[in-house]
Amino acid sequence: MTRLVLLVLVAATFWIVPAASAGEVVVDIDRTLVSPSLGQSFSFTTTVANHSARSTGPLVAHLNILSLNPGVYVDPEDWSSDRTRYLDPIPPGGSRAVRWRVKAVNGGSLAAYVTVVPRSGKGIPATGPALRFDVASRRTLNSGGILPIALGVPAGIALLVLGVRAQRRRRSRSFSLPV
């Protein structure tokens, strides 16, 4: 009988007590500053820890990237092709490391941060510390730079066309010369 009551109590505990909310989930990052050059890839690791006494439900970790200054367009899709990760439940006191790979495609001062949301969509998202990165701006696209190529390549081919035509004319003239 006692065993039965105990079993019912344990079952009731599991039924009533919800999984740890995202508010009890803490996101940490292995570094907060990085200085990549334009085009360079870099990685960082975030740790999603469950500080509660209950297991979390399934979680979703999402990486976001933004510019710290106005006037710089940032499309996070371009920076990282794998920005959303689906995590299995984390046991009480447990943690899960998630590695993110980012490629610096724009110059400027930017920041990346990871937010963890329960897969149920309910609860408060947990956000980790921001990783700041300063990418040295280098404008490689400008009219002055492209002009030598834009004019030079067609000009080179046009010269080739003229050369071939001149040679053909010379050849046809030598064939038509009276012997």
Partner 1 sequence: MVVAGQELRDLWLGGRALLLTLAFSLLLSVVSYLVATNQALNYLEQRESVSLTLKVAVAVGALLSLLAAADTISGERERGTLESLLVTPVSRQRLVAGKLAAVLSLWIGAFAITTPYVWYLGRGIGVVGESLAAGFVVGTLVAVFLASLGVLVSTFSGSNRISLSVSLLLLLALFAPTQFPTGAQQGWAANLLLRVNPITAGEHYIGKIVVDDHSWSHDTWWLVSPALGAAVFGVAAIAAARSISLRGGSTS
Write out the residues near partner 1 by the rule CB under 8 A.
38-40, 73, 75, 77-78, 81, 103, 105-106, 138, 140-143, 145-147, 149-151, 153-154, 157-158, 160-161, 164-165, 168
Give 15 or 73: the residue with its C-beta nearer to partner 1: 73
Give 2 or 69: the residue with its C-beta nearer to partner 1: 69
For residue 79, the number of C-alpha atoms closer than 13 Å in the C-beta half-sphere is 26
Give 8 or 164: the residue with its C-beta nearer to partner 1: 164
What the block records as the tokens of 71 is 């006037």
Close Cβ partners of 77 (under 8 Å, ≥ 6 residues apart): 83
Give 76 or 125: the residue with its C-beta nearer to partner 1: 76
Nearest to 95 by CA among 152, 30, 141, 143: 30
Q: How far is the CB of 34 from partner 1 (least distance, A)?
A: 17
Give 149 or 177: the residue with its C-beta nearer to partner 1: 149
Nearest to 53 by CA among 86, 87, 90: 90
For residue 138, the number of C-alpha atoms closer than 13 Å in the C-beta half-sphere is 10
Nearest to 48 by CA among 130, 133, 127, 131: 127
Q: How far is the CB of 156 from partner 1 (least distance, A)?
A: 8
- The DSSP bridge partners found for residue 112 are 65, 131
Q: How far is the CB of 77 from partner 1 (least distance, A)?
A: 7
Q: How far is the CB of 134 from partner 1 (least distance, A)?
A: 16
Q: How far is the CB of 33 from partner 1 (least distance, A)?
A: 22
* Other residues' Cβ atoms within 10 Å of the Cβ of residue 103: 14
